[in-house]
Structure 1
């Protein structure tokens, strides 16, 4: 039966209705996985918020009165829902990412498939590494900012604002670490040559330094370098990889020309 189907449809093409059914099935699987992980994340929200607030313990040990506060009736529930939503996305990412790839990849050529899997395989660990870097510098940043509270004053921080600030910082550093992979992807797509990427190293260093200064407070040079230096290293690694790709591409083109001649 399967052999007959291949004969009738040798290219394995699927009608539009089939694509829609396939998309609906994979979207449902991803949605269920996200929902289950988000429900579990709701019960983990309180421990996660306590873990994020651990830098405040050091400030209390220094004698500064600082506490997280719920400023309105629904904020406690809202904060836990926000954390549950993000945990749902993170914990279910292997499932929904696989469903997305399984839907897209069959329609790509073998070369394009390698690009997609290579992009995902490099982007995911870099994003996680960036998030871990952001998590590492987060206590230093919070301690420095809240430490500006004058003597005799108490620092009452809104729980929702505290969560939003912490998440945005960690997420921003994670995304920044993925940018070199995008540069490599553009090179593989033929948009930029390796020489062009390498020539822009001064702008890359400047951008990484400014980004590190932007997400870290003024005067926190160590945290700025912890963020900026890996970004610069990744940029040069991406440029080097792009040069290797260009060299191999040129060799293939030269071999084809000699073959034709």
Structure 2
């Protein structure tokens, strides 16, 4: 009875953490959390429909600031299909709804997986989550700035004999893809820190890779930036390099805090032979082994009695 009362007073988090929750209860909890996350996304989608037009106007702003894009006081785009703008607004509303409902569905996801993590692992997850959103937002702002500068080159290279009225869905997809790529690229330092915190890579080793990292950053920036001018490529590459070196600095502080790098082979180069102890150890004589006592023979086995003599009168 006391055990039942104790379990009844325990929360779902405690029961899932100590393993007392059954499989059916886990499945029911997953169903409930998926339902709550879906409700949050539906509510966010409703708000996204209301915000779809202002968000679309914000995404159109880089093109509308160019010369020749405004006709009769209005920024002109082309619509190929009769329902293209409607479908585009629904797509924007879904993305906006996911962003608005992110605290809800992220909490439901975290509440389901957190009981399976240790306390220090949950602490690291809080830190990484708190850093992921600002880094993604910084990448999105930089992408919007690069697109604003890059469109001027891309539209101007067509010449005066080509009309620059852009198709609305392809233009919005171009801007959103740039924002997504830049935002994901800014999450790279978190991956570096995660590898260091779990003990796979040390800060000293990551510092030794700085030439390769800088080359990869400039190569990635040259591929994803929309213009061949060095301005956008350099802006993205410098930001990624700065974030990488900041992550390396945090990793080296973490290594110093944990005492890494003090092993016996820490001060050796990769091509240096580790020190070996070649001094022979003296061999001493073994101790005297006494003779074992003789083994006695087995005792004789009594012959079995007849069946009628094994039991008394009561049995």
Q: Return the match for 1:248 from 235, 250, 257.
A: 257
Q: More displaced, 144-153 or 112-121?
A: 144-153
Q: Are residues 214 and 25 of structure 1, via their aligned partners in 2, closer, same or farther at CA, if it must alter by over 3 Å?
A: same
Aligned residues: 254
Q: Are residues 243 and 220 of structure 1, via their aligned partners in 2, closer, same or farther at CA, if it must alter by over 3 Å?
A: same
Q: Classify the secondary structure of the residue corresponding to 1:155.
A: coil
Tell me by how many angstroms 1:110 deviates: 0.8
2:175 is the counterpart of 1:173: no
Q: Deviations over 1:2-40 (max 9, x none)?
A: 852179979363111111111111111111111111122
Q: Deviations over 1:148-206 (max 9, x none)?
A: 22113211311111111100101111111111111100111122122221111112111
Matches within 5 A, 1:201-220: 201-220=210-229
Tell me by how many angstroms 1:61 deviates: 5.3
Tell me by how many angstroms 1:134 deviates: 1.2
Are the counterparts in 1 of residues 153 and 227 from structure 2 also a CA contact under 8 Å? Answer: no
Q: Are residues 3 and 246 of structure 1, via their aligned partners in 2, closer, same or farther at CA, if it must alter by over 3 Å?
A: farther
Corresponding residue of 1:132: 141
- Greater RCO (Cα-Cα under 8 Å, separation 6 or more): 1
Are the counterparts in 2 of residues 213 and 224 from structure 1 also a CA contact under 8 Å? Answer: yes
Are the counterparts in 2 of residues 56 and 67 from structure 1 also a CA contact under 8 Å? Answer: no
Are the counterparts in 2 of residues 6 and 12 from structure 1 also a CA contact under 8 Å? Answer: no
Q: Are residues 208 and 113 of structure 1, via their aligned partners in 2, closer, same or farther at CA, if it must alter by over 3 Å?
A: same
Q: Classify the secondary structure of the residue corresponding to 1:60.
A: coil
Q: More displaced, 176-185 or 224-233?
A: 224-233
Corresponding residue of 1:193: 202
Please, what TM-score do these two structures have when normalized by structure 1? 0.87
CA RMSD of aligned residues (A): 2.7
Cα distance in 2 for partners of 1:185, 1:149 equals 45
Tell me by how many angstroms 1:239 deviates: 1.1
Q: Deviations over 1:134-155 (max 9, x none)?
A: 1222211222212222113211
Cα distance in 2 for partners of 1:12, 1:62 equals 63
Q: Return the match for 1:224 from 212, 220, 233.
A: 233
Please, which runs of 5 or more residues in structure 2 have no aligned partner?
264-315
Q: Are residues 33 and 210 of structure 1, via their aligned partners in 2, closer, same or farther at CA, if it must alter by over 3 Å?
A: same
Q: Classify the secondary structure of the residue corresponding to 1:154.
A: coil
Please, what TM-score do these two structures have when normalized by structure 2? 0.73
2:105 is the counterpart of 1:96: yes
Tell me by how many angstroms 1:82 deviates: 1.3
Q: Classify the secondary structure of the residue corresponding to 2:165.
A: strand
